[in-house]
Amino acid sequence: MKEFIILNNILILIDHETASKILGACNSVTNYFKASHICNNLLTESAKILKIEGGGLKTFIKTRWTSMYEATYSIVRMRRALDEVIFIIFLIYLRYIFN
């Protein structure tokens, strides 16, 4: 069975297994930020500073047919904020190791 995703306004066909892996990865990222109050706060503040609109990260839920799009698009939309948070966490980690 083939699934499709839209990436940079291009329709891409992928197999069901690959789609499941992508959605699982999206949910892993979303669940991490929902579970970590500090990282969630950093992500929210980074999104505000970068003026990213549309809300935060969305979770894929099998029974909601639009959630596949919402989950993947939220990761793409929040990419710059996610990169910033990862960089901040990396700097904190380095400071912890070398102090």
Q: What confidence tens digit (pLDDT) does each residue in 39-88 have? A: 999 999 999 999 999 889 999 998 888 888 899 899 999 999 999 999 99
Q: Which residue range forms the structural domain that includes residue 8?
A: 2-98
DSSP-assigned letters across all residues of 48-75: HHTT--S-S-----TT-TTHHHHHHHHH
- Closest listed residue to residue 31, CA positions, set 56, 5, 68: 56
- Judged by DSSP in three states, 14 sits in strand
Let me know: does 43 contact 78? Beta carbons within 8 Å: yes
Domain count within the chain? 1
Residue pointed to by tokens 């003026």: 51
- Global pTM? 0.78
Let me know: does 43 contact 58? Beta carbons within 8 Å: no
